[in-house]
Amino acid sequence: ETGVTQTPRHLVMGMTNKKSLKCEQHLGHNAMYWYKQSAKKPLELMFVYSLEERVENNSVPSRFSPECPNSSHLFLHLHTLQPEDSALYLCASSQDLALAYNEQFFGPGTRLTVL
């Protein structure tokens, strides 16, 4: 595997379900991100991790719970979601938060539908 991978690619869940999204980066990066992409809205940053520590949580509802067990893996745990949470969830990684270049590399995304 190369780059940033995400599983599953598609997920349909009911409002009472619990599921998790997984992201893995094979680039040796230190920073990882979760984004939400909804139709007709700019990309929204949800969480940022640097060296496995959360550095930003942009007022995301508690029904979204991130986990970063090591610098290569990032999870997004989902529970009691709402239909408006249906979106494309993108994971990204970058070499380091503070580096001048800090280009972010994105995974293919998980298309989430909440019924």
Partner 1 sequence: ELKVEQNPLFLSMQEGKNYTIYCNYSTTSDRLYWYRQDPGKSLESLFVLLSNGAVKQEGRLMASLDTKARLSTLHITAAVHDLSATYFCAVLDSNYQLIWGAGTKLIIKP
Q: Which residues in this chain contact partner 1 in the complex, by CB under 8 A?
A: 40-43, 45, 48, 56, 58, 90, 92, 97-98, 100-109
Q: Which two tokens stand for residue 84?
A: 């408006």
Q: Shortest distance, CB of residue 28 to partner 1, whole angstroms?
A: 17
- The dihedral built from the CA positions of residue 7, 18, 70 and 104, taken in this order, carries a sign that is positive
d(Cα 42, Cα 58) in Å, to the nearest integer? 14
User: C-alpha angle 38/39/40, rounded to 5°?
Assistant: 115
Nearer of residues 16 and 53 to partner 1, judged by Cβ: 53
Nearer of residues 66 and 107 to partner 1, judged by Cβ: 107
Q: Shortest distance, CB of residue 109 to partner 1, whole angstroms?
A: 6
